[in-house]
Amino acid sequence: MPFGYVSPEQQMRDKADYARKGIARGRSVVVLQYEHGILFVAPNPSRALHKISEIYDRIGFAAVGRYNEFEALRLGGIRYADINGYNYARDDVTARGLANLYAQNLGQIFTESPKPFEVEIVVAEVGDSSEEDHIYRLTFDGSVFDETGLVAMGGQAEAVAGRLKERYSEGLPLAEALEAALFALTEPGGERSPASQLEVAVLDRNRPHRKFLRLNGPRLERLLAEGAGGATQETAPEAPGTPQTPDLPPTAPEGDLDTGSNG
């Protein structure tokens, strides 16, 4: 046996361990379905480096790991979507097609490159109903998982997913879904990230044309307050004899909205 020989099995194990350790050093990202679409939440103090972004009309992207690596994947996905949407039809661009593209790229890099990508990504597509929503999670080796309802990745993903399942249920309103995501992303006894250090976006099936919408500023703060108020009411029931207030019709949130960019 030549000096320095390493079996292919050992090489694959070493690469997988290396990638997992790199991904686990980052902070978790949560993606979950809510009443009107799909919600993305990530702690992120940077306003320049996004973990969450738009790929195409109905498709969003979220990632953890090395920024330069998943940014290259994001840009490649945008080029793929733009070219196929132009040559064929916009409806022909799907999350499934993007997931297959990413799986091929990540699998090839994992097997042929000395260093694998330290990334884990989610490609999500919102449909006309919750049954038509699609959430695909892709790992560093090109494996694809078709998720239902929710997914957590990066950091202590298993612990985050466990806490998320405690609060998650189908058809949650946006504020309650955001509250469930923040509960999952906050370690027991830890402090929640302020609104200025959160990256939050949705794929809203009720929006015309482009479904991706970033939530920030006063609108995000209002949703956080609404979700926290709902959680307080659940844990602290009203005392007997407390007068009931009628439900008020929803009002449009205030604040600047960043609709995302394909660039």
Distance CA 220, CA 175 (A): 9
Of residues 47 and 136, the one with the higher pLDDT is 136
**Is residue 198 in some structural domain?**
yes
The CATH number linked to 56 is 3.60.20.10
Place of tokens 């997931």: 99
Query: 3-7, 184-188, 192-196, 220-224 — which is least confidently predicted?
Result: 3-7
DSSP three-state, residue 125: strand
**Is residue 158 in some structural domain?**
yes
Q: State the pLDDT confidence band at 7, using cuts at 50, 70 and 90.
A: confident
**What is the layout of strands, in order, in the sheet containing 198-204?**
150-153, 29-34, 37-43, 198-204, 212-215
Domain that holds residue 201: 25-233
Q: State the pLDDT confidence band at 65, using cuts at 50, 70 and 90.
A: very high
> Could you give the percent of the chain with pLDDT greater than 90?
76
* pLDDT greater than 60 at residue 16: yes
**Is residue 90 in some structural domain?**
yes
**30 bridge partner residues:** 41, 152
**Is residue 83 in some structural domain?**
yes
Q: How many domains does the chain have?
A: 1
**Is residue 249 in some structural domain?**
no
pLDDT in tens, 141-169: 999 999 999 999 999 999 999 999 999 99
**Is residue 251 in some structural domain?**
no
Distance CA 14, CA 110 (A): 11
pLDDT in tens, 114-132: 999 999 999 999 999 999 9
**Is residue 176 in some structural domain?**
yes
> pLDDT value at position 190?
85
* pLDDT greater than 80 at residue 263: no
**Is residue 137 in some structural domain?**
yes
> pLDDT value at position 230?
67
pLDDT in tens, 195-250: 999 999 999 999 998 999 999 999 999 999 998 876 655 544 444 554 444 444 44
> pLDDT value at position 232?
54
Residue 140, CA distances (Å) to 12, 76, 197 in order: 12, 16, 26
Nearest residue to 28 (alpha-carbon basis) of 223, 161, 176:
161
The per-residue pLDDT of the chain, averaged, comes to 87
- Say if residues 123 and 138 touch (Cβ distance below 8 Å): yes
pLDDT in tens, 33-42: 999 999 999 9
H/E element holding 150? Answer: strand 150-153
> pLDDT value at position 233?
54
Distance CA 214, CA 234 (A): 28
Q: State the pLDDT confidence band at 260, using cuts at 50, 70 and 90.
A: very low
